[in-house]
A and B are shown apart, each in its own frame.
Chain A
Amino acid sequence: RKEVEQDPGPFNVPEGATVAFNCTYSNSASQSFFWYRQDCRKEPKLLMSVYSSGNEDGRFTAQLNRASQYISLLIRDSKLSDSATYLCVVTLLGLDTGRRALTFGSGTRLQVQP
């Protein structure tokens, strides 16, 4: 089982739609959570961190459910410019080294259509 799993999509939605992505993680000791956005053939860029109480940034809302070990990203009022791949990222404290390592999901592709 992958440490971080995402539905690869693609999610094809019309402009203005609301779309939600989920991401599940396997290690309950995971500590920090992020959503990154990656445009085609470009580098990943941080979209937002995910906090235990949930957090919102404009049209984007992120939530964490530690009991069920998943995080979600909700995008309201989708824009054409939201078309990208969204990567779920989880950090885990390494038991052997005591260091944190980031684990990336394989991403969910979103295509917003006019």
Chain B
Amino acid sequence: DADVTQTPRNRITKTGKRIMLECSQTKGHDRMYWYRQDPGLGLQLIYYSFDVKDINKGEISDGYSVSRQAQAKFSLSLESAIPNQTALYFCATSDTGGQPQHFGDGTRLSIL
């Protein structure tokens, strides 16, 4: 089983819909992250959480919200999806902020 699991793997939806992307991990890491990746732009940090009660905005948090339901679960929501949120989304974990991060397989999201 993968250490960091994202669901769904692929999603196509319409503008204005509410979408939730889920991430769960079995690594026992305290820190979890959500990124989006667009062609030619690299990974951009959306939100990160250093423990269950600690949620922080990243560089592109507008239009997104998150919930850290437990140490092992960190979900990303798009309350009202728009086409420019079409991207590849990655969840990642780490045990300390400076240590390498471990990524999930990604969720490919298309908003029409």
Contacts and interface: CB of A to CB of B under 8 A. Distances in A.
Partners in one complex: yes
Interface of A: 4, 8, 31-32, 34, 36, 41-46, 49, 87, 91, 97, 99-102, 104-107
Interface of B: 33, 35, 40-45, 48, 50, 56, 58, 88, 90, 96-98, 100-106, 108
B5 to A, nearest CB: 11
B50 A99 contact: yes
Nearest to A97: B56
Contacts, number: 52
Contacts of B103: 43-45
A76 to B, nearest CB: 23
B100 A34 contact: yes
A57 to B, nearest CB: 14
27 contacts: A32-B98, A41-B106, A41-B108, A42-B105, A42-B106, A43-B90, A43-B104, A43-B106, A44-B90, A45-B103, A46-B101, A46-B102, A49-B100, A91-B97, A91-B98, A97-B56, A99-B56, A99-B97, A100-B96, A100-B97, A100-B98, A101-B48, A104-B35, A104-B42, A104-B44, A105-B42, A107-B42
A99 B98 CA distance: 9
